[in-house]
Amino acid sequence: MKRTEVIVLAAGKGTRMHSDAPKVLQTLGGLSLIDHVLGSVRALQPSRIHVVYGYGGGAVKDVTEGDDLNWVEQTEQLGTGHAVSQAIPFVDQDSDVLVVYGDVPLVGADTMNRLIGASKSRCLALLTAVLPDPVGYGRVVRSSDGNVAEIVEEVDATDEQKAICEINVGFLSSPAKLLSDWLRRIDDVNSQREHYLTDIVGLVVADGGCVVACRTADAVEAVGVNSVAELADAERAFQNRQAYLLMDNGLTLRDPNRFDLRGSLTFGPGAAIDVNTIIEGRVQLGSRVTIGPNCYVRDCTIGDDTVVEANCVLDGATIGLSCMIGPFARLRPQTELGDGTRVGNFVEIKKSRIGSGTKANHLAYLGDAEVGSNVNIGAGVITCNYDGTYKHKTTIENDAFIGSDTQLIAPVTIGRGATIGAGSTIRRDAPPEKLTLTTEETKTLGRWRPSKKSETE
Ligand code: UD1
Ligand code: CA
């Protein structure tokens, strides 16, 4: 089989996005548009990938990873045909070429493969789709015998052509040699004064050459992103596709239309996610884990049978088995919770290890702490870990009881089984098994009277 080289077009500004960033860097499901395209392209294992960049200088090149990419600069954005021409000198003339657009993110590798196959190393193969609302796309005009005659851009189309629902997805495949010849012959005589790649279709037809239209049955694949609204529509379509795939694999989603995954999610049997939860980065849910509504979970591992109640923000945490988290808990990076821990409402934990069976049920802050197992953290307990310059560690040993409204001024250690009286400010280590507290006399002042409002007020 001939070698295949891929040209990715990513030089455009994307004026309709109203953003200074190049359009292909907009994100869909947490990944840039161009990374989506490159993901599918790489799955084809082509011999080379050329990326045409231009608007925004090196911005696309700088943030897109890939030692496998040949970057080709298009200094002026003179159209898609011009963009492909910039890459042609780098392409082996004996190869087949697949051209893809960086702003059409959802075409899968299988479809790309089908397109390459359809060109059979001699034809021009185009990817098309039939859309109920084709506005904005190039239309595939067919002659009376049903063969493709040309592609007409929306802005250049007659009313009759605008009524055509078969659109040009933008991806095409052909032998490099033929593509190079056709590109030399296109001009910019159109309403946008651009060199349209799509004009090669009419040229091939006029030459009596072979044009094959390869239609995708999945309209979502055809989605091109040109405006803020189209990006939002593409996001929903992408999320919906992910959600159904996860449900097919056994994840319970209360409502696939109110679920967002911006990264990767693995889960065990019986895992369930309630509505409006956002999963970001790499998240692993054990068996029977349930996530309540309105949670944000990023880069976390959550053990079997753990329950996360509503409105939690979990970021960079490793959570053990059978824990109870929330509602309204916040776990920050490098939090490790042992099995059976309980973290209740308005509890924030950062960079701390919490032993199994420990409870912090309400209103607490634990930062830079090493907390043993079966510890009770009362309401309003604060590890005062920051002196304004440095962070200090708090150690709380197994079975300790920290009374409510206690400040633990780090560095400090609370010994095994120690009890700290409520309302204490602990500035030095508390010995094991003893009651430690700071006392302040409680007074009642007999001659005190409540102030009264004067008559003139
Ligand atoms: C293009 C197609 C249209 C198709 C649609 C599918 C042309 C002339 N039209 O229209 O038939 O239905 O895509 O989404 O090709 N680019 C460059 N350099 C340039 C111009 C564009 O690299 O000089 C890149 C853009 O970054 C983008 C892609 O090419 O990734 C497509 O360009 P865009 O301007 O979005 O074309 P459309 O008007 O959407
Ligand atoms: Ca486009």
Give the residue from 389, 388, 340, 347 showing the smallest Cα distance to 369. Answer: 347
pLDDT, position 457? 65
pLDDT, position 22? 92
Ligand 1 atom closest to the Cα of residue 169 is 6
Beta strand residue intervals within 176-235, DSSP E: 211-216
How many angstroms separate the Cα of 407 from the Cα of each of 10, 280, 351, 417, 456? 55, 34, 18, 18, 45
pLDDT, position 313? 98
Catalytic residue (one of 36, 82, 195, 362)? 362
Determine the 3-state secondary structure of 222 from DSSP: helix
Ligand 1 atom closest to the Cα of residue 33 is 30
- Catalytic residue at 362? yes
Task: Kindly give the confidence (pLDDT) of every residue in the chain, 457 residues in length, as a single tens digit, with 9 standing for 90 and above.
Answer: 589 999 999 999 888 889 888 999 999 999 999 999 999 999 999 999 999 999 888 899 999 988 999 999 999 999 999 999 999 999 999 999 999 999 999 999 999 999 999 998 899 999 999 999 999 999 999 999 999 999 999 999 999 999 999 999 999 999 999 999 999 999 999 888 999 999 999 999 999 999 999 999 999 999 999 999 999 999 999 999 999 999 999 999 999 999 999 999 999 999 999 999 999 999 999 999 999 999 999 999 999 999 999 999 999 999 999 999 999 999 999 999 999 999 999 999 999 999 999 999 999 999 999 999 999 999 999 999 999 999 999 999 999 999 999 999 999 999 999 999 999 999 999 999 999 999 988 899 889 888 888 877 6
Report how far residue 142's alpha carbon sits from residue 150's, in angstroms, rounded to the nearest whole number: 7
Q: What is the DSSP letter of 321?
A: T
Report how far residue 236's alpha carbon sits from residue 80's, in angstroms, rounded to the nearest whole number: 27
Ligand closest to Cα of 223 equals 1
Ligand closest to Cα of 168 equals 1
pLDDT, position 57? 82
pLDDT, position 85? 98
pLDDT, position 266? 98
Report how far residue 32's alpha carbon sits from residue 61's, in angstroms, rounded to the nearest whole number: 12
Tokens matching residue 189: 């005589």
Report the 10 Å Cβ neighbour count for 135: 8
Q: Whose CA is nearest to atom 13 of ligand 1?
A: 170
Distance of CA 378 from the midpoint of ligand 1 (Å): 60
Give the residue from 325, 410, 435, 320 showing the smallest Cα distance to 373. Answer: 320
Give the residue from 142, 138, 132, 130 showing the smallest Cα distance to 157. Answer: 138
Q: Taking the CA atoms of 73, 78, 80 and 86 in sequence, report the sign of the dihedral they define.
A: negative
Ligand 1 atom closest to the Cα of residue 53 is 22
Omega prior to 411 cis, within 30 of 0: yes
Domains and CATH numbers, the chain: 4-222 (3.90.550.10), 229-436 (2.160.10.10)
Measured from CB, residues less than 6 Å from any atom of ligand 1 are 9-12, 24, 52, 74, 77-80, 82-83, 101-104, 137-138, 151, 153, 167-170, 196-198, 224, 226
